[in-house]
Amino acid sequence: MDNFAVLLTIFVLAIFVGFEVITKVSPILHTPLMSGSNAISGITLIGAILSAGSQKTTLTMILGLAAVIFATINVVGGFVVTHRMLRKFRRKEE
């Protein structure tokens, strides 16, 4: 298989996994699920790191730096705020 077919296969399968994993989500958790998954979408940080560290041109490095800052806020802020929210969810007499 060529590279594109491999990536496309991964993409399609991951979409199906996503649907299967999250179909039965408790309504109580709609917000934390959103902010937690939001943090995961900050995975683009990986790409940002590669751009910022490649040292090809000043412009690409600046774009990379901005991307690293944006994505890190997304990742760190997202996971921390989700954790903070989830700690508040408790059952009776716990």
Residues 30-89 that bind other proteins (CB under 8 A): 30-57, 59-61, 63-89
- Tokens at 73, concatenated: 């806020």
The count of residues interacting with other proteins (CB under 8 A) is 83
Scanning residues 7 to 26, which ones bind other proteins (CB under 8 A)? Answer: 7, 10-11, 14-19, 21-26
The vertex-12 CA angle with 26 and 68, nearest 5°, equals 80
Rounded CA separation 39/23 (Å): 19
Q: Is 1 in the site for other proteins (CB under 8 A)?
A: no
Instruction: Say if residues 77 and 40 touch (Cβ distance below 8 Å).
Output: no
CB of 23 to other proteins, least distance (A): 7
